[in-house]
């Protein structure tokens, strides 16, 4: 699953997604479910960045709080689950991030870990969105993060990871193509391109939202050997951790 993430490299966002910024954004270091997060959508051939509530509320839901249970959508069942299948067919989005958190269990202790790119660059999580209208006529836009099986960097920590989309697939994910084409993108991201490290338990409380959340705890940063190094010298909403 993906229950907490961060987006701090906002200077990269417009160039990375080739999008128009429709809202004012600030760095976030400990984003939790039910909060507003930026999403990138494609409307009439133009990409825009807007805000949506994290936790998808299907248009047919009786209450907005259903979204609290739908922060993630499993890639294996997204095409058949009533809460997600319509959004998967026609309402896909990119969710900018510079890292996400998971918790490694050791007895009763849960140690938070930060996962991101080797170069700390911005990346995109595969997302879905929907618009729900309250009985009073108030519209709520919401979203969910797709998940898949873990890559080699996550498999000893959790049995799921968010779907990270390579940059050359953004257009394909947002384009109104067939479901099979989009489903082919819902695979684990290459762990060789990522790194992880321990962070402070202050991340456990979403009220803590500062650069201290992403600071390494003091242990060595773990990254898998790069593909280049394998063949030649290298050249260059919760007050507790999600289950």
- Poorest-pLDDT segment among 36-50, 124-138, 144-158, 177-191: 177-191
Q: Among this protein's residues, is 213 annotated catalytic?
A: no
Q: Write down the catalytic residue from 102, 141, 143, 213.
A: 102
Q: How far is CA 240 from the centre of its chain?
A: 19
Task: For 140-167, give one letter per residue: b (16+ CB within 10 A) or e.
Answer: ebbbbbbbbebbebbeebbebbbbbbee
Is residue 21 predicted with pLDDT exceeding 90? no
pTM of the model: 0.90
Q: Among this protein's residues, is 102 annotated catalytic?
A: yes
The confidence band for 223, taking pLDDT boundaries of 50, 70 and 90, is: confident
Domains identified in the chain and CATH numbers: 5-99+121-190 (3.90.1680.10)
Mean of pLDDT values over 31-36: 97
- Poorest-pLDDT segment among 35-49, 80-94, 125-139, 188-202: 35-49
């Amino acid at each position: 699953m993906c229950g907490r993430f961060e987006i701090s490299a906002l200077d990269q966002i417009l160039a990375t997604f080739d999008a128009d910024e429709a809202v004012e954004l600030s760095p976030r270091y400990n984003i939790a479910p039910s909060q507003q997060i930026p999403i990138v959508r494609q409307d009439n051939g133009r990409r825009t960045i807007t805000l949506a509530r994290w936790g998808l509320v299907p248009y047919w839901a009786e209450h907005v709080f259903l979204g609290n249970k739908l922060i993630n959508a499993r890639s294996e069942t997204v095409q058949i689950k009533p809460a997600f299948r319509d959004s998967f067919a026609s309402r896909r989005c990119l969710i900018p991030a510079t890292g996400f958190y998971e918790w490694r269990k050791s007895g009763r202790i849960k140690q938070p870990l930060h996962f991101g790119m080797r170069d700390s660059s911005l990346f995109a999580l595969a997302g879905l969105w929907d618009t729900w209208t309250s009985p009073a006529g108030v519209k709520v836009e919401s979203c969910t993060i797709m998940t898949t099986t873990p890559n080699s960097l996550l498999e000893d920590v959790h049995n799921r990871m968010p779907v990270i989309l390579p940059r050359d697939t953004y257009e394909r994910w947002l384009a109104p193509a067939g479901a099979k084409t989009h489903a082919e993108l819902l695979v684990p991201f290459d762990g060789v391109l990522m790194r992880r490290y321990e962070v402070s338990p202050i991340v456990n409380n979403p009220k803590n939202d500062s650069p201290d959340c992403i600071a390494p705890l003091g242990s060595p940063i773990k990254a898998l050997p790069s593909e280049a190094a394998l063949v030649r010298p290298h050249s260059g909403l919760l007050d507790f951790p999600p289950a």
